[in-house]
Amino acid sequence: MSRKTDIQELFRGLRAGNIAQLSRAITLTESGRPEDQQMAMALIDRVLPYSGNSVRIGITGVPGVGKSTFIDAFGMKLIEKGAKVAVLAIDPSSSVGKGSILGDKTRMERLSVHPGSFIRPSATWGHLGGLTYKTKEAIILCEAAGYEYILVETVGVGQSETEVSQLTDFFLLLMLTGAGDELQGIKRGIMEMADAVLIHKADGDNLGKAKLARTEYARALHFLPPKPSGWSPKTLIASALSGLGIDEVVALIWQFVQQQKRSGYFEQRRAEQNRYTFRKLLREGIMNEIFQDPEMRQLISRSEHAVVRQEQSPYSAVFNILRLRKR
């Protein structure tokens, strides 16, 4: 089959909401083969006009906080309201070909068997930087396939949260009560990005503690600098187990989207994200191209040595490299 008919078939499948074709399209974007990459790019450009019509929600928190259980409950609630829900789970511990803990679909028991949902674990090619555009492509494909809520789940801490907040409209941070001091350092940076902090597992003996923690987090959030969007981060308590607070999360995100759309910030944030991805890809692309040339590689390596030994200033070294590059 020719490439063109293949793309056409994928396009039709996607637009018809065919899950197998959606999976295939995402696999194409993840492939390292140049011909697959080209097909993926052509397909994405083709579906771009049909994308964007979803709410993209980033969900993060340390392992064990209950992300998948929460997503199961939250996703089912959205489905009950008639929405189609896609879950893209980013697992930095896995790489393509190896097993993935997030690949275990039983983690979302109800959602994974519901026809209104699509769950896709994605590996990160061993570095988190690759995550932004791979996941972005997956988001676009899911939207073109008619998914109205895209939940992007990340495990753990660090760079991936920054990346996810670049990808999504709403960033939800799940927390536990009584987390030790060792977590505080992590929390502050991530908390600044959060649109809502949710104290999870608010059930049984933990309910009272969760309510207290909520007050404390509300106070802490109050001291953060205001967001350019004008949204002040909210605190919530919820339990995926008892179902407490899940409706509130749905309502809060609805309120957020309405407010941000009214102010124009919703579109502005997405435009900024597109610009971020474009610039990042461009920088990486230029660097890769330079490093592919063996002569340039040698020159860069020699220059770096000279700079380290103070035989040349970084300014003149870079100037020199760029001048030679143009020839």
Rounded Cα distance between 284 and 272, Å, is: 18
Cβ closest to ligand GDP, residue 34 vs residue 64: 64
Site string (213-242) toward ligand GDP, x via CB under 6 A = --------------------------xxx-
Q: Which of 64, 97, 225, 294 binds ligand GDP (CB under 6 A)?
A: 64
208 binds ligand GDP (CB under 6 A): no
65 binds ligand GDP (CB under 6 A): yes
**DSSP category for residue 313:** -
Of the candidates 308, 301, 200, 180, the residue with the CA atom closest to the CA atom of residue 248:
200
Which range binds ligand GDP by CB under 6 A, 65-73, 124-132, 209-217, 312-320?
Answer: 65-73
Under a CB-based contact definition with an 8 Å cutoff, are residues 246 and 59 in contact? no
Helix runs in 223-313, H state only: 246-263, 265-292, 294-308
Q: Which of 63, 208, 228, 314 binds ligand GDP (CB under 6 A)?
A: 63
Rounded Cα distance between 306 and 309, Å, is: 5
Q: Least CB distance from residue 115 to ligand GDP, whole Å?
A: 22
Would you tell me how many other CB atoms lie within 10 Å of the CB of residue 231? 17
Site string (96-135) toward ligand GDP, x via CB under 6 A = -----------x----------------------------
Please give the size of the binding site for ligand GDP, defined by CB under 6 A: 15
Tell me which residues touch ligand GDP (CB under 6 A): 61, 63-69, 107, 200-201, 203, 239-241
